[in-house]
Structure 1
Amino acid sequence: MGGKVVFKEYDPDQLTFLPYKLEELVPSAHPVRIVKQVVDAVDVKPINRKYKGGGASSFHPRLMLKLVVYGYLTNTYSSRKLEEQAAQNVHFMWLLGMKKPDHNTINRFRSEKLSGILKQIFSQIVLLLQQEGIVSLKEAVFTDGTKIESASNRYTFVWGKSIKKSREKMKAQLDELWGYAQSIAAEELKDTAPLGYSEINPEKVKETIAKINAALEDKEDVDKKVKQKLNYAKKHWPENLTRYNEQEKLLAGRNSMSKTDPDATFMRMKEDHMLNGQLKPAYNLQISTQEQFILNYSLHQTSTDYGTLPSHIAEYEALYNEKPKAVVADAGYGSDENYGILQQKGIEAYIKYNTFDKEQKEGTKAFSNDSLYYNEQENYLVCPMGQRMQHIGDGHRATSSGFVQLTSRYRAQNCKGCPMRGVCHDGQGNRIVEINHSLRLHKQAAKERLNTEQGIKYRKRRAADVEPVFANLKHNHGFRRFLLKGISKTEVEIGLLSIAHNLRKWKA
């Protein structure tokens, strides 16, 4: 048999001679201390200006900022859970000096007081990191994007194409009604004309329906189906058009939006390790990192990455009055516009283009447009068989962002009987190619830059710098879906998440 079991003394009702100090219960190396230290060092005047004088006293902005930052650092995102932590968690109680804001106060502070100004606080913390020599705002940054789901309902959607089709269908039906009315009441409608597509608006449609009704009012043997359709049109079409107009304003050129969060756009989300996904209302988060610290973040309503870079870099410059030495990014950012903007700013673009990886493995295809020799002085191309391809004209093409590209067209002189025709050109007539010379030169420069010793280092480092940050935020800290709706509020959430990430890594 073993010896006698001895238990440690335990008496929950035991009184202590002196009450505990919260200071003694918080370890010296605990992350809550870095939150207090850093938030005490930043200037919160931008938040102070959001408060109006008079009325009841308010919790100090610095206290509230500590609460939400430490909440996001500890994966506590809900305002109700933050309220609970402030009342129950020793670390929160120490940080807040035993103050206990309720969830409504917390939510108003996060949604209203931090809206539009949190990035000023974020940038101050990045500058503190620079002072410590941890990051440099003048060195290369690594940029990438990910999509985060909106808090909206996934099934309340509006599609821009659907609105367009509904307008066209309404116009066709109105033309049918007008044609029918003309066939039996031409005299009554002789001084009016059917509506053009540009006139399909609530007022004009209502007016036209009224004219058709008036013209058919005294006519006998009017088709009952026509009367039913006119009654339906009178009751619903102007109202529907008003709704379409309002939705198009909210869409602001996008293809889709959520009814319950109009700022969110439907984007294809990667759901699992097999990259199977579905369309969900979401926002496109862009970050620039260095040593896995977030130096800049921006939120966008477009699903593609290439259109986000100009404003993302502009925000970086506005925040720090500095430009990074280089931007390192994957092929999703390799566009004529982005290469040109970075070149103008004097920023080195270590950005792949869409065929870069394939060319690295397989080389440039022999008959592709990029493989054709170009004589710049005389402005002609040379086909794979050595014939000149003459310049036959220029054209302009505008991208979705409004950027105008100049393209040049070239035509081979005689493809008939060419032994390479089957692999070079399978269309009728002589081969015609279209070249964007600006993009061609940018791609050549990017290829050379990416294959330098520095370029290879940056390419390897990109995957180990920016991508782990997204993995940390989404998988380690469970932030896959916003709690708030609207881009101004979701930007606050991303700002708090970015601050928390930097402080967590700083302490580590």
Structure 2
Amino acid sequence: MANYKPNDSHQNQFIAVDFSAQIIPGTFEYALSHIVDNHLDLSSFDARYNNDNGGATAYSPAIMLKIILFAYSRGYISSRKIAQACQTNITFIALSGDAQPHFTSIASFVTNMSEHIEPLFTKVLLICQQQNLIGHQMFAIDGCKISSNASKEWSGTHQELKQKAERLKLASKRIIAAHKAQDECPDTEIAKDLKQKEKLDNTAKKIAQFLADKSERIGNRNTPVKSHKLFTYDEFKFDAENLTCICPAGNTMWLTAKPKADATHTRFQAYLKDCRDCPMRAQCMQKEPKNHVRQVSIPIAKQRTAAQILSDKMKAKIDSPQGRREYSKRLGCIEPVFANITKNKGMDYFTLRGKTKVNAQWQMYCLVHNIEKLRNTSEMIQ
């Protein structure tokens, strides 16, 4: 009968671990650690802390940057997952020196990266330039859609929110009706349904409160409500050559000021006698013309700017046979970058809100891509 050695894979054991030996040359984590320790200036983070004379010690920006960028390279975007990995994953433990920061510290660091990411991103890009990773042959500008930390549930018009509040109230009533029809339900089921009812009621109440506050803010403006559509400038007959204007009632208006060279609009004003007796006054003015009359501002068709001319030239160039051939090369230039970031690395979701913070997190994603390129091709960090 066969006799095998015992399998102790489920046994706990104390093992002496050399953290530096876990960061193997040629890996992404080795390249990341080398670049952060030897090529990035992290002194800008020092201004955030004022704890030299008191208070708790802070986690080193180098350690936080290493574990966050390494986590991003593995598709760990959640701060909680990163914190958990720092406790259980040997590579994270080695990169952090067994620091094990709390997930709130990680989230705070990422949130405030918008103040520091620009010089770090630029420095890594310059390293790529020194290693001849930028070909200077073709540059492409493009974009891709990535999910953000925003809820569609609370987006929509006021009418849609009102309809949603009504649906929530109906759902709450259905729960009560179901309990009245089934009095023999277990207590656990009743408690679960009542909790769901409370949640629906609270959500409907929040929507109603939001709509009430919005209505009050609008009402305090004392803005007159338009009961009909007033004439717009398109319905006034404007002669750009002679600088004349005739109102919809057929009355001539006078030019209030001759437009200057940099003017964007031409302004005309009606005569008081014409507005007082005008049969179309209700369609033209909100208030009765006592001391004021109808004024209209008409846009001037200006010459195209230099930027617009260049844009038209670029469109024509792209539409040419040679332009189409060059433009098609962007598929091999920019699409692999998006594919590596969003598919291979799993960085397909932003955890922050606001353009500034999201832009900072996107630059961190791009840092991961650029560092990986350095790891694959540069002898500097092998």
Scaled by the length of structure 2, the TM-score of the pair is 0.55
Q: Distance in 2 between matches of 1:405 and 1:144?
A: 33
Q: How is 1:377-392 mapped onto 2 (pairs within 5 angstroms)?
A: none
1:447 corresponds to which of 316, 329, 333: 316
Contact in 2 for aligned 1:150/1:485 (Cα 8 Å): yes
Q: How is 1:420-435 mapped onto 2 (pairs within 5 angstroms)?
A: none
CA deviation vs aligned residue, 1:180-221 (integer Å, no higher than 9, x gap): xxxxxxxxxxxxxxxxxxxxxxxxxxxxxxxxxxxxxxxxxx
Q: How is 1:146-295 mapped onto 2 (pairs within 5 angstroms)?
A: 146-157=144-155, 240=215, 242=217
Q: Distance in 2 between matches of 1:160 and 1:139?
A: 51
Task: Note the C-alpha offset of 1:66.
Answer: 0.9
Task: Note the C-alpha offset of 1:122.
Answer: 1.0
**Unaligned stretches of 5+ residues in structure 1:** 163-235, 247-391, 396-403, 407-433
Q: Which residue of 1 aligns with 2:130?
A: 131
Q: Which one-letter code corresponds to 1:447 in the other structure?
A: A
Contact in 2 for aligned 1:405/1:436 (Cα 8 Å): no
Q: Distance in 2 between matches of 1:77 and 1:151?
A: 12
CA deviation vs aligned residue, 1:341-399 (integer Å, no higher than 9, x gap): xxxxxxxxxxxxxxxxxxxxxxxxxxxxxxxxxxxxxxxxxxxxxxxxxxx8699xxxx
Q: Distance in 2 between matches of 1:124 and 1:72?
A: 19
Q: Distance in 2 between matches of 1:20 and 1:117?
A: 33
Q: Which one-letter code corresponds to 2:119 in the other structure?
A: Q
Q: Distance in 2 between matches of 1:89 and 1:27?
A: 15
Q: Distance in 1 between matches of 2:319 and 2:127?
A: 32
Q: Which residue of 2 aligns with 1:37?
A: 34
Q: Distance in 1 between matches of 2:142 and 2:16?
A: 51
Q: Which residue of 1 aligns with 2:279?
A: none
Q: Distance in 2 between matches of 1:63 and 1:81?
A: 16
Q: Which one-letter code corresponds to 1:126 in the other structure?
A: L
Q: Which residue of 2 aligns with 1:479?
A: 347
Q: Which one-letter code corresponds to 1:459 in the other structure?
A: Y
Q: Which residue of 2 aligns with 1:66?
A: 66
Q: Which residue of 2 aligns with 1:103?
A: 103
**Does residue 459 of the first structure (1) align with residue 327 of the second (2)?**
yes
Q: 1:135 to 1:242 in 2, by over 3 A?
A: same
Matched position secondary structure for 1:77: coil
Q: Distance in 1 between matches of 2:40 and 2:94?
A: 19
Contact in 2 for aligned 1:116/1:488 (Cα 8 Å): no
**Does residue 492 of the first structure (1) align with residue 360 of the second (2)?**
yes
Task: Note the C-alpha offset of 1:486.
Answer: 2.8
Matched position secondary structure for 1:149: coil
Contact in 2 for aligned 1:115/1:488 (Cα 8 Å): yes
Contact in 2 for aligned 1:35/1:503 (Cα 8 Å): yes
The range that moved more, 36-45 or 458-467, is 458-467
Q: Distance in 1 between matches of 2:59 and 2:303?
A: 58
Task: Note the C-alpha offset of 1:64.
Answer: 0.9
Q: Distance in 2 between matches of 1:245 and 1:97?
A: 59
Q: 1:63 to 1:15 in 2, by over 3 A?
A: closer
Q: Distance in 1 between matches of 2:219 and 2:94?
A: 53
2:18 corresponds to which of 21, 28, 36: 21
Contact in 2 for aligned 1:66/1:95 (Cα 8 Å): yes
Matched position secondary structure for 2:146: strand
Matched position secondary structure for 1:37: helix
Task: Note the C-alpha offset of 1:125.
Answer: 0.8
Contact in 2 for aligned 1:79/1:106 (Cα 8 Å): yes
Contact in 2 for aligned 1:86/1:92 (Cα 8 Å): yes
Q: Distance in 1 between matches of 2:328 and 2:355?
A: 33
Q: Which residue of 2 aligns with 1:122?
A: 121
Q: 1:239 to 1:485 in 2, by over 3 A?
A: closer
Matched position secondary structure for 2:327: helix
Q: Percent identity?
A: 22
Task: Note the C-alpha offset of 1:457.
Answer: 5.5
Q: Specify which structure has the bigger relative contact order, considering alpha-carbon pairs within 8 angstroms and separated by 6 or more residues.
A: 2
Task: Note the C-alpha offset of 1:19.
Answer: 2.8
Q: Distance in 1 between matches of 2:346 and 2:146?
A: 11
Task: Note the C-alpha offset of 1:139.
Answer: 5.6
Q: How is 1:83-94 mapped onto 2 (pairs within 5 angstroms)?
A: 83-94=83-94
Task: Note the C-alpha offset of 1:496.
Answer: 1.6
Q: Which residue of 2 aligns with 1:292?
A: none
User: Which has more strand, going by share of residues?
Assistant: 1
The range that moved more, 123-132 or 455-464, is 455-464
Q: Which residue of 1 aligns with 2:188?
A: none
Contact in 2 for aligned 1:86/1:96 (Cα 8 Å): yes
Task: Note the C-alpha offset of 1:487.
Answer: 2.8
Q: Which one-letter code corresponds to 1:33 in the other structure?
A: Y
Q: 1:239 to 1:142 in 2, by over 3 A?
A: closer
Matched position secondary structure for 2:48: coil
Q: Which residue of 1 aligns with 2:224?
A: none
Task: Note the C-alpha offset of 1:447.
Answer: 2.9
Task: Note the C-alpha offset of 1:75.
Answer: 0.9
Q: Which one-letter code corresponds to 1:443 in the other structure?
A: D
Paired residues, number: 250
Q: 1:394 to 1:85 in 2, by over 3 A?
A: farther
Task: Note the C-alpha offset of 1:450.
Answer: 6.4
Q: Which one-letter code corresponds to 2:339 in the other structure?
A: A
Q: Distance in 2 between matches of 1:9 and 1:99?
A: 35
